[in-house]
Amino acid sequence: MSELAKNRTGKKNSRKELILDAAEELFSIHGYDGVTLRQVSKKAGVKLALIDYHFGRKRDLFESVFLRRAKILNDARLKALEECERAAGPEGPSVESIIEAFLRPLEFVQESEDPGWKHYCALVAYINNSSVWGNVMIGKHFNPLVLRFIEALKKAMPGVREEKIFWGYHFLSGALTLTFAQTGRIDELSGGLCKSSDFQAIYNRMIPFFSAGFKDIEKDNADKTLNGA
């Protein structure tokens, strides 16, 4: 298990962390509108006034929950990208190496023994699929990291039009959202052949699948260039 998978978000015996843990679980199940601060205080076993003291409004608590693990993920993925760039040398990393650096840390957190990561991933899926919260939260806190990966892909795919790379990321983000949500639908559709909880199998397939998709974009661009399109 990676160090990222072992990473806890803080001291579990602090009342502030208890509030964040309780809110994280409730928001991941019921969404923003389905949770009250009173419910959070009851689940955390603290007084309602303590939530107000530490976080203020419900929206501020919601964002604090989201931010707590976002930084851990961003740091891990950036480190993975920088390591693959150093290993590649002057020529730069391959498309597949970049996609792996982007995705593999997410496998590690989903395999974590910390149940909070399951709640957090479900929360990210909820937010990323929301027209209200998607760009406000995901855009604000994850876009800088995503753009760093986009730049790496552009270097690995010279001459490919930028919009094609952004569309490729859009499709990848959708697959991640479903993986984070862990709905179990693939389990039922496949009659048990595939399991939404088999994260190693998911990421082992997702990485080459999307790498091939990006390479196909590159090939399509090269073919059109040769044909004078």
What are the tens digits of pLDDT across the range 144-162? Answer: 999 999 999 999 999 899 9
Its domain, for residue 208, covers 70-226
Examine residue 17 and state whether it is found in any structural domain, yes or no. no
Examine residue 53 and state whether it is found in any structural domain, yes or no. no
In the chain, the percentage of residues whose pLDDT exceeds 90 is 83
Residue 90 CA neighbour count, 13 Å, CB half: 0
Examine residue 139 and state whether it is found in any structural domain, yes or no. yes
Count of C-beta atoms within a 10 Å radius of residue 169 = 17
What CATH number should be reported for the domain holding residue 211? 1.10.357.10
Total number of domains constituting the chain = 1
Of 162, 116, 157, 131, the residue nearest 6 (C-alpha): 116
| pLDDT at residue 135 in the model | 87
Report pTM: 0.86
| pLDDT at residue 221 in the model | 60
Whole-number Å distance between alpha carbons of 54 and 70: 19
Examine residue 183 and state whether it is found in any structural domain, yes or no. yes
Examine residue 5 and state whether it is found in any structural domain, yes or no. no
Is the pLDDT at 227 greater than 80? The verdict is no
Is the pLDDT at 142 greater than 80? The verdict is yes
Examine residue 22 and state whether it is found in any structural domain, yes or no. no
User: What are the C-alpha distances in Å from 195 to residues 104, 199, 210?
Assistant: 18, 8, 19
Which amino acid appears at position 122 of this protein? A
Is the pLDDT at 61 greater than 70? The verdict is yes
Burial of residue 25 (CB within 10 Å: 0-12, 13-18, 19+) is: buried
Is the pLDDT at 29 greater than 60? The verdict is yes
Examine residue 39 and state whether it is found in any structural domain, yes or no. no
What are the tens digits of pLDDT across the range 92-110? Answer: 999 999 999 999 999 999 9
Helices and strands: H and E segment counts in the chain: 11, 0
Mean pLDDT of 51-68: 96
| pLDDT at residue 13 in the model | 61
Torsion-angle region of 195 (φ positive above 0: left; ψ -120 to 50: alpha; else: beta): beta
